[in-house]
Amino acid sequence: MKALVVDDAKVVRVSLGRMMKQLGYEVLEAADGAQGEEQMAANPDVDVVMLDWNMPVMNGYDFLVGLRKNPAHAVSPRVIMVTTETGIGQMLKALAAGADEYIMKPFDKDMVMSKLDILGLEYADS
Ligand SMILES: [Mg+2]
């Protein structure tokens, strides 16, 4: 199981990465959407992307649109937006672009696990 954490805040990449590792995932990181695209090109087997919205260079929304344009990634990986952009308009925009779930910052491990459950993604419950 492989997760890609895309966030410009290192503290988020570290904390979310630690949670996903505890849940049995191999974790890849990217600090912006452009790095996220590089990671996806090198690791097309990523199962889930945890995606921030506001980032320099390329934001999470633009990354998401580009990801879903690739027929190989029309459905997989599943994408969970992890963001402070929690207005209903923003949420609907991300869901329409192919996001699968939404987590509001701040988040905890229980919240992450509940979203993985909703998406039918496996994890190690240690
Ligand atoms: Mg950010």
In the predicted structure, residue 41 carries a pLDDT above the cut 80: yes
**Which tens digits make up the pLDDT trace of 4-24?**
999 999 999 999 999 999 999
In the chain, pLDDT over 90 holds for what percent of residues? 93
Distance 10 CA to ligand 1 centre (A): 10
Distance 120 CA to ligand 1 centre (A): 27
Q: Which residues pair with 101 in a beta bridge?
A: 80
Contacts of 32 (CB under 8 A, 6+ apart): 6, 8, 55, 56, 57, 58, 59
User: Residue 126's pLDDT is what?
Assistant: 62
In the chain, pLDDT over 70 holds for what percent of residues? 99
Helix H or strand E segment including 31: none
Confidence (pTM): 0.96
Distance 74 CA to ligand 1 centre (A): 24
Please compute the mean of the pLDDT values over residues 117-124 and round it to a whole number: 96
In the predicted structure, residue 87 carries a pLDDT above the cut 90: no
Is the domain 2-117 a CATH 3.30.70.270 member? no
Own/partner pairs, 59-66, CB within 8 angstroms, 24+ separation: 59/32, 59/33, 60/6, 60/33, 61/93, 61/94, 61/97, 62/33, 63/6, 63/33, 63/34, 63/36, 63/37, 64/94, 64/97, 64/98, 64/99, 65/97, 65/98, 66/33, 66/37
Distance 125 CA to ligand 1 centre (A): 28
